Amino acid sequence: MARPGSGLLVPVNGLGYPPQNLARVVVWEWLNEHGRWRPYSAAVCHHIENVLKGDARGSVVLGQVDAQLSPYLIDLQSMHQFRQDTGTMRPVQRNFYEPSSAPGKGVVWEWENDNGSWTPYDMEICVTIQNAYEKQHPWLDLTSLGFCYLIDFNSMSQTNRQSQRKRRLRRRMDLAYPLIMGSIPKSQSWPVGASSGQPCSCQQCILVNSTRAASNAILASQRRKLYGGTGGSTGATGILTVVRQSNTFAGTSLWSPTSTSSGTNNNNISVGGGQAKAEQVPLPLSTANFPCSQVTASLSSPHGHHALTLNGQNNLNRPGTQRISMGSARGAIPPGVPALPVKNLTGSGPVHPALAGMTGILMCAAGLPVCLTRAPKPILHPPPINKSDMKPVPGINGMRRKTKKKHLRRGKNPEDVVRRYTERIKVMPDEDCTICMERLVMSSGYEGVLQHKGIKPELVGKLGKCGHMYHLLCLVAMYNNGNKDGSLQCPTCKTIYGEKTGTQPPGKMEYHVIPHCLPGYQDSKTIRIVYDIPAGIQTNEHPNPGKKFSARGFPRHCYLPDNERGRKVLKLLIMAWDRRLIFTIGTSSTTGESDTVVWNEIHHKTEFGTNLTGHGYPDPNYLDNVLTELLAQGVGEDNLKD
């Protein structure tokens, strides 16, 4: 049964345009890794629509309206979102809803996630919830939408029907999504001349046209990966043809992927028009769905009984074109064709995605053949291991350490800590105190701000090991702003006085030897370290006391070679763990999430069998680098006991 106010893609002539004089609310959405269309906010959608009115074939900089989206661009020509720092591309679509639905009224339904923040529902679910809410239904079952959740409007909660876990939900008012009337004008083929509508023949436009067409070829390969269809009946063979036009183009794409399958029905899908000379390369087609493995460029021409030509038009309002089911072909890379491992296609690769993508585009523009290959996946874990095969690490007692929820050891008081590691000097040199930036011959800049009976603002001290000099009152102020663990660190050379401790939350560290070797250490077994820290509540030593913190990706597995140096590093890591220096609570540099457990400047190898992410082996410099990082935290080889 149809749901009133549900999301609607209005098909008119197959192009997704609303009919004349029909009002529709526009919601722009992007496709996440789970195959769900996630809506942009109303403010972002208004921004996209404003850019669309000015240039229907241009780019939208999302950071201009939402600072959190600053790395992202939307290419209106290819209907893809591009992340500039990682090169990741995701399809986007322009969806239409009734003006009386939730987006038309500015109603947003959200659920509370594990961090205590709020996540909006998919737009079709939001519309369904709002419709039931307006009809004063006491509850709503989302099973029909593919979700095993029950919405209770009385308690404003969402219940998982399988796990019975409850989450809070809320309804809030926001900016209404943009409203459009009537049909949307079709955009012309790209590029076009200034006045006559004919393509410009200057070298710059030819290069730009070639680059855009090559980009479309890359995006087409991604669509085949995302929406790969059945390849035909058993025993069928297919032909994968990629068309490259001659230099005398007619304002259409220079690269046009055409897919033909043998049998009774030959259906060609060609992007771009014009004439081209070509040949076909027969490749086997599997009867099962499989992701696109390679895209090989050759001089080709479209053949077959039924051809669908999109004439290079803008895909702006045709989300259906992104859902075309195509049989993808798996074939060998022709000799002499360079293979570019493109990170965008699989998520990881040895070449930075933006570099690999632009290299492929420029090679295509220059007329060079390019083959996009699937980058190998990292091997993060060893083969399954029986518990009986896990052995203690030689020379190290036990196989696990725990930290409990307890307060740090405090120094007697700040003055005692400062006096313990400094000596007073009577003759002050004519130089600056690098803490308060006042001259040492003058009083401390903290005079009047900080009062301590035993320390006068004009007193100067010299640190015992490094010899750097500061106002004693400045050192007291620096200690009060730190962890107050009884240790002191020189702000100039970072020399540590005393035993430095961190703010790592409670957790567990396990370590044992497994019967497998790491790349580059074929003669040694492997030490596996397993860190496990649960989520919890921040204490006074953390950035936001009393607030929840998350712990993503735990348990985390790390690897060292089981040799003399590897065991030495393990002993120091155990010491760093006991001093609570391995992890801290802060903002993730990977996801941008705040109030979460993050690494604390001591790098670990989390990739077991490869080094595709930079966190694996072989890496001949890793053990030296991690020893240097441990020393910077005050954990050095001189701390080890015989």
More confident residue, 392 or 314: 392
351-388: pLDDT as tens digits: 555 666 666 666 655 666 555 555 567 888 999 889 89
- The ranges assigned to domains in the chain are 23-181, 387-391+399-403+501-639, 414-497
Please give the single-letter amino acid code of residue 428.
M
The pLDDT of residue 512: 96
**What are the percentages of helix, strand and coil residues in the chain, rounded to 5?**
20, 25, 55
Q: How many CA atoms, within 13 angstroms, populate the side-chain half-sphere of residue 112?
A: 12
- Distance separating alpha carbons of residues 47 and 109, to the nearest angstrom: 22
Percent of the chain with pLDDT over 90: 35
Q: What is the pLDDT of residues 232-260, one digit of tens each?
A: 444 333 333 333 333 333 333 333 333 33
15 has a pLDDT exceeding 70: no
Homologous superfamily of domain range 414-497: Zinc/RING finger domain, C3HC4 (zinc finger) (3.30.40.10)
Nearest to residue 346, comparing CAs of 143, 612, 106? 612
Q: Which residues contact 614 (CB under 8 A, 6 or more apart)?
A: none
3-class DSSP string for 504-545? CCCEEEEEEEECCCECCECCCCEEEEEEECCCEECCCCCCCC
pLDDT at 607: 93
If you average pLDDT over residues 13-37, what whole number do you get? 72
Angle subtended by helix axes 353-365 and 203-226, to nearest 10: 130
pLDDT of residue 209: 52
Give 198 or 72, the one with higher predicted confidence.
72
pLDDT of residue 580: 93
Confidence of residue 299 (pLDDT cuts 50, 70, 90): very low
Asked if pLDDT for residue 222 goes beyond 80, the answer is no
Residue 316 pLDDT > 60, yes or no?
A: no
- Distance, CA of 19 to CA of 297 (rounded, Å): 39
Interatomic CA distance for residues 357 and 546, integer angstroms = 45
Q: How many whole angstroms separate alpha carbon 490 and alpha carbon 532?
A: 32
pLDDT digits (tens, 9 = 90+) for 123-150: 999 999 999 999 999 999 888 887 888 9
The yes-or-no answer to whether 387-391+399-403+501-639 and 414-497 have a common fold is no
Task: Give the pLDDT of residue 361.
Answer: 61
The set of residues, in sequence order, having a beta carbon less than 8 Å from that of 77 and lying 6+ positions away, is 57, 58, 190, 212, 314, 315
Give the whole-angstrom CA distance, residue 363 versus residue 218.
12
Window from 11-20, 288-297, 402-411 with minimum mean pLDDT:
288-297
Confidence class for position 224, pLDDT limits 50, 70, 90: low
CB atoms within 10 A of CB 74: 26
CB 371, CB 336: distance < 8 Å: no
Q: Which two tokens mark 614?
A: 């930079």
Reply yes or no on whether the pLDDT at 589 is more than 90: no
Q: Model confidence at 555, in pLDDT bands (50, 70, 90)?
A: very high
Alpha-carbon gap, residue 366 to 296, rounded angstroms: 16
Contact between 296 and 331 under an 8 Å Cβ cutoff? The reply is yes
Residue 77 pLDDT:
83
Percent of the chain residues past pLDDT 70, beyond the cut? 64
The amino acid that residue 245 corresponds to is: Q
For 499-548, how does the pLDDT look when each residue is reduced to its tens digit (9 = 90+)? Answer: 888 899 999 999 999 999 999 999 999 999 999 999 999 998 888 999 99
SS3 of 82-120: the string is EECCCCCEEEEEEEEECCCCHHHHCEEEEEECCCCCEEE
pLDDT in tens, 146-176: 788 899 999 999 998 888 889 999 999 999 9
For position 523, what pLDDT does the model report? Answer: 93
pLDDT of residue 332: 45
Q: How high does pLDDT run on average in the chain?
A: 73
- Cα–Cα distance for residue pair 447/555, rounded to 1 Å: 48
The whole-number pLDDT of residue 341 equals: 46
pLDDT above 80: residue 103:
yes
Q: How far apart are CA 472 and CA 453, in angstroms?
A: 12
- CATH no., domain 23-181: 3.30.720.50
Distance of CA 74 to the CA centre of its chain: 17
DSSP type of residue 197: S
Amino acid, single-letter form, for residue 374: R
Q: How confident is the model at residue 343 (pLDDT cuts 50, 70, 90)?
A: very low
- In the 8-state DSSP scheme, what is residue 133? H
pLDDT > 50? residue 290: no
How far apart (Å, rounded) are the C-alpha atoms in residues 302 and 272? 11
CATH level 2 (architecture), domain 387-391+399-403+501-639: 2-Layer Sandwich (3.30)
* Contact between 362 and 211 (Cβ < 8 Å): yes
Residue 366: the pLDDT is 63
* pLDDT band at residue 641 under the 50/70/90 scheme: low
Greatest pairwise CA separation for the chain in angstroms? 100
Per-residue pLDDT reduced to its tens digit, 593-630 = 899 999 998 999 999 998 888 899 999 999 999 999 99
**Confidence band, pLDDT 50/70/90 cuts, at residue 68:** confident
8 Å CB contact between 528 and 538: no
Q: What is the pLDDT of residue 360?
A: 60
